[in-house]
């Protein structure tokens, strides 16, 4: 008996099955092909966590699905609520891996910050996730499920709908492009979560060729570049990915992106004390803002155990902001949320 179990093939996650394959499977087992549409709606629109929940299917159909497939859902292992209302979750995946996601309440927005990889391979020196090994990519359904879980938390905690999504959690989204793109399609689909693509932002540390791929596919999402330094020399120091994706390469990719999509790009810029906080740095950043229509978010640095960087002084950040603003650059100062529970930008890391 144990040998039989060991030799039995693992059941496939039904959400990885293209609808035409699902339809063919159903027909081969004596079911009507329209059942595929019903099942797809249960999985993506109604976010069913089990076949048993699909109560407009016959018991025999549900048992057939359960015999051949699984639904590898994402569950909330733990939650932490910040003093400012930010809610961080540890999400358990079907294989026991953990990723983190964050619900960020702010004014009229409720934003889900979600992860795309277990760990990260980019080793950015200021980011806690960068000190973790990248174990694997998340599949589209696992990314999707994070949004579903955070949407549930939003409605429970605040009694209001989720409004925005940012792919700014653990991992580099453009190094898991296929699954990220598929998750966006599912999230925005009428038979999915039906959220507007303009409410979704994909953030990248700067993978030039994949920025062009994103432009070609035109998912209609927003794009944010984690810039954090205005010269190659400084960017190489804190973001090793820049050595293979120089500012010149990123300029070319971003201009291509804008030409294809006509959308602005957001530059995310953490202001580090005595590293990139001078007016000479602001002048270099101003040159970058001339590449294409853009806006700049100046971000507080959030300390982590493995790095010795410090947040710039308030007067330095204010002067930096004024330099750009006075020259017509749309510039915002972003204050950190959830810092007390390690949920702020750059702080996500699974602590075993």
Cβ(216)–Cβ(267) below 8 Å: no
> Is 345 a catalytic site residue?
yes
Whole-angstrom distance, CA of residue 50 vs CA of residue 112: 24
Give the bridge partners for 268, in sequence order. 226, 297
Neighbours of 20 (CB within 10 A): 10
Beta pairing class for 117-118 and 294-299? unpaired
Q: At what angle do helices 279-289 and 314-325 cross, to 10 degrees?
A: 40
Active-site position among 120, 154, 294, 345? 345
Q: How far is CA 209 from the centre of its chain?
A: 19
Per the residue annotation, which of 100, 142, 172, 300 is the catalytic one?
A: 100
Positions annotated as catalytic residues are: 100, 345
């Amino acid at each position: 008996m144990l040998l039989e179990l060991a030799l039995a093939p693992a059941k496939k996650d039904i959400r990885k099955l293209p609808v035409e394959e699902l339809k063919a499977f159903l027909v081969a087992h004596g079911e009507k092909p329209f059942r595929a549409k019903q099942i797809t709606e249960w999985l993506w629109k109604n976010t069913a966590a089990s076949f048993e929940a699909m109560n407009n299917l016959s018991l025999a159909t549900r048992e057939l699905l359960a015999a051949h497939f699984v639904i590898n859902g994402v569950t909330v292992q733990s939650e932490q609520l910040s003093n400012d209302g930010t809610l961080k979750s540890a999400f358990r995946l079907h294989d026991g891996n953990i990723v983190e996601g964050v619900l960020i309440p702010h004014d009229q927005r409720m934003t889900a910050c979600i992860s795309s990889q277990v760990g990260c391979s980019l080793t950015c020196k200021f980011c806690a996730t960068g000190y973790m090994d990248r174990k694997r990519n998340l599949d589209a359904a696992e990314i999707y499920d994070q949004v579903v879980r955070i949407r549930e938390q939003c409605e429970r905690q605040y009694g209001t709908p989720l409004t925005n999504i940012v792919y700014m959690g653990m991992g580099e989204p453009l190094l898991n492009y296929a699954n990220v793109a598929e998750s966006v399609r599912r999230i925005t689909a009428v038979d999915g979560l039906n959220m507007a693509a303009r409410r979704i932002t994909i953030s990248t540390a700067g993978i030039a060729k994949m920025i062009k791929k994103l432009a070609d596919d035109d998912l209609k999402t927003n794009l944010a570049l984690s810039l954090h330094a205005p010269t190659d020399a400084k960017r190489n120091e804190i973001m090793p990915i820049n050595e293979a994706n120089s500012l010149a390469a990123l300029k070319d990719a971003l201009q291509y992106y804008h030409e294809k999509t006509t959308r602005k790009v957001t530059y995310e810029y953490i202001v580090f004390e005595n590293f990139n906080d001078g007016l000479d740095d602001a002048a270099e950043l101003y040159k970058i803002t001339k590449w294409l229509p853009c806006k700049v978010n100046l971000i507080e640095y959030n300390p982590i155990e493995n790095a010795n960087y410090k947040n710039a002084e308030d007067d330095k950040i204010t002067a930096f902001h004024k330099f750009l603003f006075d020259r017509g650059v749309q510039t915002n100062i972003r204050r950190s949320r959830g810092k007390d529970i390690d949920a702020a930008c750059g702080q996500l890391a699974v602590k075993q």
